[in-house]
């Protein structure tokens, strides 16, 4: 199970329809938050995502619309009795940010909050997947993130196993776990009955950025790319000046990278009532595009399901 819930999809200025940036990923019950704009904990309550299994908050950069929900999240977890530690990871100055929150907020928490500063290329190994950082191009130090699951074993060929004399039962399981078995004095290797390894799922989140080569390379064959799409192309000069992307630019990058699905987010308040200009120009380039909406949720399925 890999479910993405969009808790906040606004640009720098929130609107009645859109909260500041926050994306929650539920990976087999583990919760991971990417950015944490103001009011994120309330959005989690509205979306009924749960909160106590949140272990990591990954920040793309330290602009206010991406970080001001952190004190609220921590205090809410404290009121709910959390005792497990939580890690807040992000670019340079993340430690200073966390210490600042500790110094000005009277937390009633009984759990440890760890700050972790990352650089492009850093990898955090998790159980069954990893989170990698990528370089992005914004007006302040910034990062993007790749969540990629471990590769999976190939398909088990039952008929091949039987033809080699392996009886159905526990020996099938051993072969599927990558262990050799002995049948009537003959050693059967897993590769004799297992197909080629299969990829896990891959999610890329850019945060605020101009389209750039590192994001394109990181997005190759991604199942889902969530890309900055603050403005439409008639505001391309402003997007360039503020180091954001247009919907068309995001779509062009998605097409070049060969992603399966593009979601546009960080939507300017100019489109608070009608985001169709963004969607239409993006789909004219890359059809498999949607615009994120607050509390929208989608499941990323395995490619061979």
Tokens of 263: 């979601």
β-bridge partners, 115: 88
Say whether 294 is catalytic. Answer: no
Three-state DSSP state, 106: coil
DSSP element (H, E) containing 279: helix 276-283
DSSP 196-246: --B---EEEE--S----HHHHHHTTT-SEEEEE--B-GGGHHHHHHHT--B
**Dist CA 295 CA 43 (whole Å):** 7
- Judge whether 145 and 209 are in contact, CB under 8 Å: no
Give the residue among 200, 14, 227, 47 at the shortest CA–CA distance from 138: 227
Give the residue among 290, 267, 292, 297 at the shortest CA–CA distance from 14: 267
Three-state DSSP state, 284: coil
Q: Which of 30, 35, 65, 157 is catalytic?
A: 65
Tokens of 144: 């993007």
Residues 6+ apart with CB under 8 A from 75: 105, 107, 108, 109
Catalytic residues: 65
């Amino acid at each position: 199970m890999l479910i993405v819930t969009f808790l906040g999809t606004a640009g720098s200025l929130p609107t009645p329809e859109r909260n500041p940036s926050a994306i929650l990923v539920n990976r087999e019950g583990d919760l991971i938050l990417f950015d944490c704009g103001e009011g994120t904990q309330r959005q989690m309550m509205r979306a009924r995502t749960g909160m106590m299994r949140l272990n990591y908050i990954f920040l793309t950069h330290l602009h206010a619309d991406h970080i001001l929900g952190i004190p609220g999240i921590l205090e809410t977890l404290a009121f709910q009795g959390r005792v497990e530690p939580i890690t807040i990871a992000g670019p340079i100055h993340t430690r200073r940010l966390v210490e600042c929150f500790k110094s000005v907020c009277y937390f009633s928490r009984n759990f440890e909050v760890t700050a972790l500063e990352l650089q492009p290329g850093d990898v955090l190994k998790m159980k069954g997947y990893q989170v990698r950082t990528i370089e992005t191009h914004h007006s302040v130090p910034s990062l993007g993130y790749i969540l990629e699951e471990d590769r999976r074993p190939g398909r088990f060929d039952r008929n091949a196993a039987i033809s080699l004399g392996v009886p159905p039962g526990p020996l099938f399981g051993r072969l599927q776990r990558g262990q050799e078995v002995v049948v009537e004095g003959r050693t059967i290797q897993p590769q004799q009955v297992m197909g080629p390894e299969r990829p896990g799922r891959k999610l890329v989140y850019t945060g605020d950025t101009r389209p750039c080569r590192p994001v394109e390379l990181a997005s190759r064959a991604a199942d889902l790319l969530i890309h900055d799409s603050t403005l439409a192309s008639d505001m391309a000069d402003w997007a360039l000046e503020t180091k954001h992307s247009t919907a068309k630019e995001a779509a062009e990058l998605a097409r070049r990278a060969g992603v399966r699905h593009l979601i546009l987010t960080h939507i300017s308040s100019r489109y608070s009532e009608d985001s169709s200009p963004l969607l239409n120009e993006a789909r004219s380039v890359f059809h498999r595009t949607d615009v994120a909406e607050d509390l929208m949720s989608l499941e990323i399925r395995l490619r061979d399901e």
